[in-house]
Amino acid sequence: MKGIIKNYLELRKGGISYYDLSFVLIELSMLLESGLTLIRAIEVASSQSTNSRIKEALIEVKTAIEAGETLHRAFSKAGVFPEFFLEMLKVAERGENLEKILRIAGEYLQKIEENKMKVLTSLAYPSFVIVASLLALFVAVKFVVPKIANVLQGLGKDLPLITKALLFFSHLLSYLIYFLPAFAMLYLFRHKLISKERWDKYFLMLPIFGKVSFYYNLSRLAGTLLMALSSGIPLTKAISLSLGSLNNAYLRSVLS
């Protein structure tokens, strides 16, 4: 299950996951600690990476540094590194330990991905139960109840009220199926019909899923803030980065 979820996350990010980035940053930190120059460390990390996009990004970073760009600008041009890491590089440019900053950022990215995996795997079982229950309900209402009703009517007996209600629901389902494509289109274009902030607010009201999302976002906020402050990023910028790390637009708006 974890392998499937990890592959799905990588596909969504175009082949780069936080695991990939964390491995590269920690590797760069270790190479610098071993005495290699930054340029040489980037060359080694690039040659050892199995991800083509990360290879291209590291080559672009190396080229930019050799052209005289600052660390912040060089890594920004690659377009794959998160904003908080780019801000940490500004601190490194002021004389802070680059190896330490690379390691902190790498370990933090690793922790984010691990927490995300835990959340997704914890939601996998209740999601399966809900889908299976709905499917069982659909089969019962659509196929089983009508047959039982026909048998009772054939015996000349009045149908119980609950059976009549289920039959009505069965007929209703027959019509609702024709609206499924419309419901799918509404979901796909939901942000054009309703703001993401309001959608995320409603999502937090969902049982189980809303609570998990709420605590996941708060843990990510606290983790990003701690990491940013420990790296020497100013408080106001650290708070801004922490709020930017939230996936839920409603929480981001409220906490801002």
Q: Please, are residues 50 and 23 in contact by the beta-carbon 8 Å criterion? A: no
* Whole-structure pTM value: 0.66
Look up the domain containing 194 and give its range: 115-255
For 28-75, what is each residue's pLDDT tens digit? Answer: 999 999 999 999 999 999 999 888 899 999 999 999 999 999 999 999
Domain count, the chain: 2
pLDDT per residue as tens digits for the range 138-195: 787 777 777 777 777 777 777 777 777 777 777 777 777 777 777 777 777 766 667 7
Cβ atoms of 254 and 245 within 8 Å: the answer is no
CA distances from 99 to 28, 111, 192, 195, 226 (A): 8, 18, 44, 42, 18
Instruction: Look at residues 113, 146, 163 and tell me which one is the last residue of a structural domain.
Output: 113
One domain, residues 251 and 127: yes
Distance CA 61, CA 223 (A): 27
Same domain for 125 and 160, yes or no, is yes
Domain end among 50, 84, 113: 113
Q: Who contacts 85 (Cβ-Cβ below 8 Å, separation ≥6)? A: 25, 75, 105, 109
The domain that contains 18 carries what CATH number?
1.20.81.30
With CA atoms as reference, report the closest residue to 118 among 219, 225, 199. 219
81 in Cβ contact with 64 (< 8 Å): no
Last residue of a domain, one of 81, 113, 145: 113
